[in-house]
Amino acid sequence: MTILPHERVLVGIDTTDCDKAMKIATAVTGSVGGVKLGKEFFVSNGPEGVRRVTAGGAPLFLDLKWHDIPNTVAGAVRASLPLKPMIVNVHASGGPAMMKAAAEAAAAAGEDRPMVIGVTVLTSMAEDDLAAVGMDTDMPGQVVRLALLAKNCGLDGVVCSPKEIRMVKEACGPDFKCIVPGIRPVWAAANDQKRIATPAQAVADGADYIVIGRPIAAADDPAAAARKVADELKPA
């Protein structure tokens, strides 16, 4: 399936205000590939809040990064299915049994099955952060290790930083999805992301979807900002 340039853009909406999230989602629907709702929003508003935000038809990346025992994660995936997410995710460091359980639970949705994506290393982390939590490998090595593990467990792809896209594609193949946060247009601030790239750079390197939060969601005109990003991705 061909992904149009604007469909590669997922807007991260990080707020506890459901009305604000609805307003952003309504503004960008049709101009991007979907919206990402995470823990901050979900804890505050629950599944009903998610339904309200996506009622206008915005595809959903439910970014809850599950990491627990296999049975609990499988139950969480099953509980998410009525929300009809396009993407759900788990921490790949949760291990093979957990990832396999997540993939099997998602398969219960049949044709409406969401993509199950493994989180490799958070884009807020740097090499010294890996060492601090006891990892004895460098960043690229850890990301590729977890990506291969995710693929072998039946996941559809991984979340990785822009710096690791090419390595993941080389190791796991072109059909293994890369969903890439840490994306900042040239006109936006880096904020707390450490391993970043522009939208065009990330897609050129092989990103299937790029996640952009504040540069779109916090803009005075989110729809215009979304279109500006999408325009960067159109062929010259």
Give the closest residue to 83 by CA, choosing from 108, 110, 49: 49
First-to-last CA distance in the chain? Answer: 22
How far CA 176 is from CA of 71, 79, 171, in Å, comes to 25, 25, 10
23 is a catalytic site residue:
no
**Which residue among 20, 23, 65, 228 is the active-site one?**
65
Hey, which residues are catalytic here? 65
